């Protein structure tokens, strides 16, 4: 049976529930990725919070809390087919118990490890390369606004870091790819849809500070040691679009 779900973590867990109590799953596909054609039998699973809670409680109890976190992170990686990877990991864990995360050599565990590291790597990178701009709405209160397009759905994972850091600022982190944004201020935040066409009004000094930063960025490279390949290995080109100091525009070579 192929299960179709709404693309949420709870939805995926509801599918796991059906995998046990209805019929084993051959594939679990998000609605948005499910095409019209297909010969397999398909069933739409409506997200049921109580079923999802039962599954997550079982994961936490039989595997560990840490494992549940890993499932969530692996889910956020956004790769197609990840649902079945998590499913295999979870049901293997039901057999082995909490020692599942010690089985580094097991292909199913390894797969989750790879997905989790992918999310962690991108999260880590964006804590550094996310660029905020100062935005001035009508009433003159300054708001920090950042836009980016990550591969993994990491916006909610970034919030604790920036809430802690910007204790006296209001800020918005806009995931352009997923057309949603986290709005934060006074230690709290909410996630709301925000179209990719949204473009705010920047403060009058914004471009000047960007230029200062670009100037610094260019001056800081040592000409005798130029190594653009190494640079690219740290910041892949897919991240350059939203980077203020994008290397494309700041070539220090004569």
Which one, 111 or 180, has the nearer CB to another protein?
111
Could you say which of 21, 32, 50, 128 contacts another protein (CB under 8 A)? 128
How many beta carbons lie within 10 A of that of residue 21, not counting itself? 8
What is the closest distance, in whole angstroms, from the C-beta atom of residue 34 to another protein in the complex? 31
Q: Among the candidate windows 3-11, 44-52, 63-71, 214-222, which touches another protein by CB under 8 A? A: 214-222
Which one, 29 or 143, has the nearer CB to another protein?
143
Q: Helix or strand or coil: residue 41?
A: coil
What is the closest distance, in whole angstroms, from the C-beta atom of residue 238 to another protein in the complex? 15
* Axis-axis angle for helices 9-21, 65-76 (nearest 10): 110
Q: Among the candidate windows 20-28, 31-39, 74-82, 208-216, which touches another protein by CB under 8 A? A: 208-216
What is the closest distance, in whole angstroms, from the C-beta atom of residue 63 to another protein in the complex? 13
What is the closest distance, in whole angstroms, from the C-beta atom of residue 229 to another protein in the complex? 7
For residues 24-83, which are near another protein according to CB under 8 A?
A: none
Which residues on neighbouring strands pair with residue 210, listed in sequence order? Answer: none
- Cβ atoms of 5 and 12 closer than 8 Å: yes
In Å, the largest CA–CA distance within the chain is 67
Identify the residue whose tokens are 């300054």.
Answer: 142
* Axis-axis angle for helices 49-62, 9-21 (nearest 10): 80
- DSSP 8-state secondary structure symbol assigned to residue 202: B
Q: Among the candidate windows 17-25, 70-78, 83-91, 166-174, which touches another protein by CB under 8 A? A: 166-174
Question: Which three-class secondary structure string do you get for 215-240?
Answer: HHHHHCCCHHHCCHHHHHHHCCHHHH
Backbone dihedral angles phi then psi of residue 94, each to the nearest 5 degrees: -60, -30
Identify the residue whose tokens are 């039998």.
Answer: 41
- Residues that contact another protein, how many (by CB under 8 A): 62
What is the closest distance, in whole angstroms, from the C-beta atom of residue 183 to another protein in the complex? 17
Could you say which of 205, 241, 248, 249 contacts another protein (CB under 8 A)? 205
Q: Among the candidate windows 45-53, 54-62, 82-90, 120-128, which touches another protein by CB under 8 A? A: 120-128
- DSSP 8-state secondary structure symbol assigned to residue 175: E
40, 132, 141, 154, 181 from 165: Cα distances, Å: 49, 13, 19, 17, 18
Of 246, 176, 175, the closest CA to residue 213 belongs to 246
Q: Among the candidate windows 7-15, 72-80, 101-109, 174-182, which touches another protein by CB under 8 A? A: 101-109
What is the spatial distance between Cα 115 and Cα 85, in angstroms, rounded to a whole number?
9
Could you say which of 227, 237, 241, 249 contacts another protein (CB under 8 A)? 227
* 216 contributes a contact to another protein by CB under 8 A: yes
Residues near another protein (CB under 8 A):
96, 99, 101-107, 110, 124, 127-134, 144, 146, 161, 163-169, 205, 208-209, 211-213, 215-217, 219-231, 233-235, 243-245, 247, 250-253
């Amino acid at each position: 049976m192929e299960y179709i779900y709404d693309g949420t973590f709870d939805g995926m867990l509801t599918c796991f529930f059906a995998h046990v109590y209805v019929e084993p799953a051959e594939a679990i596909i998000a609605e948005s990725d499910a095409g019209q054609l297909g010969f397999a039998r398909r069933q739409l699973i409506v997200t049921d919070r109580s079923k999802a809670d039962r599954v997550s409680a079982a994961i936490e109890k039989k595997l560990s809390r840490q494992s549940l976190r890993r499932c969530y992170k692996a889910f956020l990686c956004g790769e197609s087919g990840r649902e079945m990877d998590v499913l295999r990991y979870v049901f293997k864990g039901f057999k082995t118990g909490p020692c599942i995360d010690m089985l580094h050599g097991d292909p199913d565990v390894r797969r989750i490890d790879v997905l989790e590291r992918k999310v962690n790597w991108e999260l880590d990178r964006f804590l550094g390369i996310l660029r905020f701009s100062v935005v001035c709405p009508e009433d003159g209160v300054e708001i920090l606004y950042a836009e980016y397009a990550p591969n993994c759905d990491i916006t909610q994972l970034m919030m604790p870091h920036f809430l802690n850091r910007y204790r006296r600022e209001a800020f918005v982190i806009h995931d352009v790819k997923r057309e949603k944004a986290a709005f934060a201020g006074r230690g709290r935040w909410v996630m709301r849809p925000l179209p990719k066409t949204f473009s705010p009004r920047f403060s009058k000094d914004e471009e000047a500070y960007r230029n200062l930063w670009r100037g610094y960025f260019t001056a800081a490279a040592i000409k005798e040691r130029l190594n653009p390949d190494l640079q690219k290995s740290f910041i892949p080109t897919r991240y350059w679009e939203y980077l203020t100091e994008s290397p494309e525009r700041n070539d220090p070579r004569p």
